[in-house]
Amino acid sequence: MIFLRNFIFGVISAFIILIGILAYRQNIFQPESLPYDDEQAGLDEQVVINFSHVVAENTPKGLAATRFAELVNKKSGGKVIVYIHPNGVLYNDSNELEALQNGNVQMIAPSISNMTNKLPSWQLFDLPFLFKDDEQVAAALTGQLSESLLEELDSLHIKGLTFWSSGFKQIAANTPIVNIEDFEGLRIRTMPSNMLKQQYEIMHAIPITTPFTDIYEELDSMQIAAQENTISNLFSKGYHKTHANITLSNHGILSYAVMINEGFWEELDTETQQIITDSLAEMSEWQHELAIELNEENLHKLENNKEVSLYTMNEEETLKWQQAVRPIYDVYAQRYKKYMKLLLNDLEVQNNK
Ligand code: LMR
């Protein structure tokens, strides 16, 4: 009898202690909300944007993201905070789009080439030797064509905001690349774009698609003998230390589509939306200039680096390369002729300025 009484008493006591622990952990004994202090004022209204990208901070994209964060913060009086996550620390270029669509981050700025699997018409920008100079690139990235291309993001439930530039791409390799014959059998890393792959295949090279953040590993394991990229991307990651033969070919461009999660965007009030679009518009010209300056500045450093061998392609060599890729050019220019027309208009407008 005594045993039974002790047993029941023990069970009830254990039950009460357990309820006590659970209540404590759920903060039931705490006051409902924290006491008010000035620092919390406005926290409810704060807008936080996580902006993920894959390159270094001292690149045209990295610095533009930082400037964007500063501008929106200033214009919103501190209400909008943009946290920049560079160098692929959160997501790389093969999973950042999904992260944006899932709302794990609110903004990204992938390269146009990286988007071509989802939006094939964007391959137009990967056409070899499409642009003569930086002015033409800026005209295309800010004109009518760019507006139409940004609208295509609606089909992916993404709000397209603007395009940024990283400038012209060059070839960096283990061995000197001068003539198109030098591409024969060359294992060259490209971004994931069929157009890019085809232009190397047509020259009998072996294109290898790797996320930007994995290039180091591929270099280590000697999987790639060459890559195409802008001088600022090559320099900021130190790729010139391995791929020390750099051919200045200006054969293509690297540009970015700045985009924001659609649901997140729609929930922002119109004033905040305006602050975001105004900030991007305000820095657009500066961003294009920045890409030019950084590439020049980094090129200058490479010129002074005895370990690096720079070669500028002459007209004849360029012409041979252009002729080799001509069939691809014709197919794509025909396939996307509506956009080609817009592009020619943009270039015309820029010419008449
Ligand atoms: C690359 O993969 O080479 C580029 O897309 C990296 C970047 O974002 O500039």
pLDDT in tens, 292-308: 999 999 999 999 999 99
Calculate how far, in angstroms, residue 187's C-alpha sits from the geometric centre of ligand 1: 18
> How many angstroms separate the Cα of 324 from the Cα of each of 140, 183, 334?
25, 12, 18
Distance 8 CA to ligand 1 centre (A): 69
Mean pLDDT of the chain: 90
Q: Which pLDDT value is given to residue 40?
A: 53
Cβ of 96 less than 6 Å from ligand 1: no
Give the ligand 1 atom nearest the CA of 189. 3
Q: Is the CB of 116 under 6 A from ligand 1?
A: no
d(CA 266, CA 159): 9
Atom of ligand 1 nearest to the CA of 256: 8
Whole-number pLDDT of residue 67: 98
Res. 15: pLDDT tops 70: no
Give the closest residue (by CA) to ligand 1 atom 5: 111
Tell me what pLDDT residue 22 has: 52
Residue 201: its pLDDT value, please?
97
- 47-52 and 206-209 beta bridge pairing: unpaired
What is the average per-residue pLDDT within 177-195? Answer: 95
- For residue 40, give every residue at least 6 positions away whose Cβ sits within 8 Å of its Cβ, in sequence order, or none: 34
pLDDT at 333: 84
Q: Give the pLDDT confidence of 43-52 residue by residue, as tens digits.
A: 668 999 999 9
User: Is the predicted pLDDT of residue 24 greater than 60, yes or no?
Assistant: no
The span from the CA of 58 to the CA of 18, in Å, is: 55
Query: What whole-number percentage of the chain has pLDDT above 90?
Result: 81
Tens digits of residue pLDDT in 234-280: 999 999 999 999 999 999 999 999 999 999 999 999 999 999 999 99
Which ligand 1 atom sits closest to the C-alpha of 229? 3
Question: Who wins on pLDDT, 10 or 252?
Answer: 252
Counting beta carbons within 10 angstroms of the beta carbon of residue 140, is it exposed (0 to 12), middle (13 to 18) or buried (19 or more)? buried
Task: Kindly give the distance from the C-alpha atom of residue 255 to the centroid of ligand 1, in angstroms, as a whole number.
Answer: 9
pTM over 0.85: yes
CA 45 vs CA 77, 147, 193, 266: distances in Å: 12, 31, 41, 16
Which residue's alpha carbon is nearest to atom 2 within ligand 1?
Answer: 212
Instruction: Give me the pLDDT at residue 190, please.
Output: 96
Asked if residue 1 has pLDDT above 60, the reply is: no
pLDDT level of residue 216 (50, 70, 90 thresholds): confident
CA angle, 133 as apex, 61 and 140 as ends, to 5°? 65
Is residue 290 in contact with ligand 1, taking CB distance under 6 Å?
A: no
**141: closest CA among 168, 176, 172, 171?**
168
pLDDT value, residue 222:
74
Answer whether 179's CB lies under 8 Å from 272's CB: no
Instruction: Please indicate whether residue 93, judged by its CB atom, sits closer than 6 Å to ligand 1.
Output: yes
34 φ, ψ (degrees, to nearest 5): -70, 150
Nearest CA to ligand 1 atom 9: 55
Burial class (CB in 10 A: 0-12, 13-18, 19+), 342: buried
Substitution candidate for ligand 1 out of 111, 170, 298 with most atoms within 8 A of CB? 111
Please tell me the distance between residue 165's alpha carbon and the centre of ligand 1 in angstroms.
Answer: 11
Q: Where is pLDDT greater, at 181 or 8?
A: 181
Residue 221: predicted pLDDT: 75
Contact indicator for 255, 164 with CB cutoff of 8 Å: yes
314 Cα to the center of ligand 1, angstroms: 26
What pLDDT does residue 39 have? 52
Angstrom distance (rounded) from CA 242 to CA 135: 32
256 CA to middle of ligand 1, Å?
9
pLDDT higher than threshold 70 for residue 32:
no
Q: Which of 6, 308, 39, 73 lies closest to 170, judged by CA?
A: 308
With cut-offs at 50, 70 and 90, classify the pLDDT of residue 31.
very low
Give the number of the atom of ligand 1 that is nearest the alpha carbon of residue 114.
5
Could you report the per-residue pLDDT of 112-136, keeping only the tens digit for each?
999 999 999 999 999 999 999 999 9
Note the pLDDT of residue 38. 47
CA 216 – CA 224 distance, rounded (Å): 10
Residue bearing the bigger pLDDT, 221 or 134: 134
pLDDT of residue 198: 95
Structure tokens at 202: 């047509």
Relative to beta strand 158-173, strand 226-230 is antiparallel
Pocket test for ligand 1, best of 166, 209, 210, 254 (most atoms within 8 A of CB): 254
With vertex at residue 331, the alpha carbon angle to CA 328 and CA 334, rounded to the nearest 5 degrees, is 140
Q: What is the model's pLDDT at position 17?
A: 62
| Closest approach atom of ligand 1 to CA 59 | 9
Residue where the block lists tokens 């002459």 = 314
pLDDT value at 152 more than 50:
yes
Residue among 58, 193, 210, 229 whose CB has most ligand 1 atoms within 8 A, to mutate: 229
Residue type, 18: L
Lowest mean pLDDT among 67-81, 82-96, 157-171, 337-351: 337-351
CB atoms within 10 A of CB 130: 20
- The residue with tokens 């690349």 is 177
Per-residue model confidence (pLDDT) at position 21:
54
